[in-house]
Amino acid sequence: MAKMMMCPCGQRLEGRTDDEFVSVVDTHLRDSHGGRSYPAEAILSMATSVPDETVAD
């Protein structure tokens, strides 16, 4: 099952696997929020599981 979250800045972040999701969130935090970083466990705890077909290619 894919993961997604809405960043407080309004950006929808999503990934088909846990590793992809964590990577997407890490990249967004680094590029858009002054280099912030969180452990993978914290990122995954903020995620919502969504059907794979709802995640954009």
Q: Per the structure block, which two tokens stand in for 36? A: 């912030």
CA distance 6 to 45: 13
* Cβ 29 vs Cβ 35: under 8 Å: yes
Q: Per the structure block, which two tokens stand in for 4? A: 């997604």
Supply the pTM of this predicted model: 0.91
Q: How confident is the model at residue 56 (pLDDT cuts 50, 70, 90)?
A: confident
Q: What are phi and psi of 18, to 5 degrees?
A: -60, -45
Q: How confident is the model at residue 51 (pLDDT cuts 50, 70, 90)?
A: very high
In single-letter form, the type of residue at position 49 comes to S
pLDDT tens for residues 10-44? 999 999 999 999 999 999 999 999 989 999 999 99
